[in-house]
Chain A
């Protein structure tokens, strides 16, 4: 009557039992188990490879320090410095002139002290449909500024990629080897905890993003939470497992499409508002999840953008690449 042991091994409960005893990865992708001898051999190989690569890295650094740049490059750098200083100076003068046209700071009659705040507080909920006035303010009244900020994030991530991305070759392999060799990896305690915590963190981040117009939070903070969850996953499981679901391709697609949709939404608002048309988007009843027009969608796009940027910064500074 009772089950045979062989039958029991293939059931769901035996897998749970094995997971509790630490014999098997139950929740996650299972890798092929290596025997101890094989593991030792691979470890030794990695060790010698890492030692070689360390020497190579030092040599590369030395070569970089001791080679003279080309002549036209030198001239270009000098010219570049001069032009950069000029551009900065003109921008400074322009901004200072603009500031001199503003009303005096701290004056009691300034519009910022009376009308603007009054309008935001009194009519904010009615006009934007968001219970959280801050979200309504930054995504609706000040949508233009927020769009600029998101672009700044995008440009910052691109600049970090230009500076730190290691395309291919020996250096990339060195980065991988060092990431695996020098730091503690595959700590089973952290892995078990991360298996429970990371989904919780993701759910929390999604909650913060979706409730952006109802409670404190929004795209930026929720995206930061999701990015932190990704970083937690990486620190527990290593880059190789993370790249199965979040690699450079996913990063590019998610980031660029989020930015494009965001710009589309806001340009629709701008176009309609500037021409004085009705934008045909109902605001819904304040307090519901689906309300306040496009703010919910804009929050989702901003959240995607911020999460991708957070993770990309971490990965680029850690090992110089997403893949």
Chain B
């Protein structure tokens, strides 16, 4: 093996180890990310790093067909992000709609209850007044 080849091997191996470490770091971000966008972004980043690792592997093993897999991987990661965001937004909006509807129903029923209570109070007051009147009449 010539000097260039061995130096190339050392370089590529070092870069692969470095990128593997970066993948682990980004994965921690994906697990701990407080919002869903954090997670998606981290997964997207892992995809990019993975594509680069595949390209490095293709050079290291001298197999050019691995680059086809790079293109496919890029496409799949893009597709997954697009579909996930689309579906998540749809589900979120549907839940939001349902929540708002329930809230509206609850408010309406509360208002109806409040109205009935008011009517009953009115009725009680009237009845009391009538009784007082009748008592007064009896007393007289």
Bound state CA distance, A232 and B94, in angstroms? 23
Bound state CA distance, A54 and B82, in angstroms? 25
Bound state CA distance, A235 and B86, in angstroms? 8
Contact with B along A80-99 (1 / 0, CB 8 A): 00000000000000000000
Q: Is the CB of B90 within 8 A of A182?
A: yes
Answer yes or no: B123 CB below 8 A from chain A CBs: no
Chain B interface main SS type: helix
Q: Pick the residue among B76, B86, B89 that contacts A228 (CB under 8 A).
A: B76
Answer yes or no: A215 CB below 8 A from chain B CBs: yes
Q: Is the CB of A215 within 8 A of B65?
A: yes
Q: Pick the residue among A190, A208, A225 that contacts B82 (CB under 8 A).
A: A190
Answer yes or no: B5 CB below 8 A from chain A CBs: no
Q: A54-B97, A215-B65, A216-B65 are in contact. Are A235 and B83 (CB under 8 A)?
A: yes
Answer yes or no: B11 CB below 8 A from chain A CBs: no
- Give the tally of cross-chain contacts (CB within 8 A): 50
Q: In the assembled complex, which residues on chain A have CB atoms less than 8 Å from the CB atom of B94?
A: 54, 178, 182
Q: Which residue of B lies closest to A185 (CB)?
A: B86
Answer yes or no: B71 CB below 8 A from chain A CBs: yes
Contact with A along B18-42 (1 / 0, CB 8 A): 0000000000000000000000000
Bound state CA distance, A217 and B89, in angstroms? 35
Q: Is the CB of A232 within 8 A of B79?
A: yes
Contact with B along A225-257 (1 / 0, CB 8 A): 100110110010000000000000000000000
Bound state CA distance, A225 and B93, in angstroms? 31
